[in-house]
Amino acid sequence: MKLEREAMAHYLDTKFNTKVADAEKAEFEIIGDDIEEMSVELNSDTEQIKNILGQTKTKDNGYTPSMEADPFYADPEKKLYPKLLDIAMNRLKGDKCKTLMLEVIVEDTAAENHKAWLREVMVKPQSYGGSTEGFNIPFTVNEDGACQEGYVSAESMKSGNPTFTEGAIPGVGG
């Protein structure tokens, strides 16, 4: 059975904590309610070199992951909106644009806990304005620091503010 797209959820910390160690202070809000398609682009960085012996060698420089959230319609009821507006209108940079992203995969809707990754990220609005559909502030999320693997409880996800716990899901190998 294949997973539906909604099995993958992306949340941003609206308090803009900058370190994975501050996960307990985070206040997460899910992103994607106006978005029809959104993926994390891994942007793998490899180069192949053919030597004089006719052998091909691949140099693997890792990844520079990014994600585009477009559209993001300005909604004063969204907790993320004031911070995105501040970053865009005041042209903020550096640590003022850093926050935490929580990625959750729900493989089994009946499970008590779900796999999750907490990442330090940089959030950068790409533009603001838009069409008659609404005031849009599309943004890019780039990984920018540490990552922790862990889990969130299904109950905390229902609250709208999932609670991240580092480590393996209790009672599951890992």
Bridge-partner residues for 141, per DSSP? Answer: 67, 123
Quickly state the pLDDT bin for 173 (edges 50, 70, 90): low
Which pLDDT score is estimated for 1? 83
Query: What integer pLDDT is reported at residue 61 of this predicted model?
Result: 93
Q: Over 70: is that where the pLDDT of 112 sits?
A: yes
* Structural contact between residues 68 and 140, judged by C-beta atoms closer than 8 angstroms: yes
CA angle 115, 118, 122 (to 5 degrees): 145
Q: What share of the chain is helix, strand, coil (3-state, %, to 5)?
A: 15, 40, 45
Average pLDDT over residues 4-32: 96
% of the chain with per-residue pLDDT over 70? 99
Q: 18: closest CA among 122, 157, 167, 156? A: 122
Residue 30: predicted pLDDT: 96
pLDDT tens per residue, range 42-77: 999 999 999 999 999 999 999 999 999 999 999 999
Average pLDDT over residues 126-140: 96
pLDDT for the residue 172: 74
* pLDDT at site 171: 81
Q: pLDDT tens, 32-41? A: 999 999 999 9
Instruction: Record the pTM.
Output: 0.92
Q: Give me the half-sphere count of Cα atoms (radius 13 Å) on the Cβ side of residue 73.
A: 10
Find out whether 69 and 87 touch, Cβ atoms under 8 Å.
no
Per-residue pLDDT reduced to its tens digit, 152-166? 999 999 999 999 999
Q: Do residues 103 and 119 lie in contact, with contact meaning Cβ atoms separated by under 8 Å?
A: yes
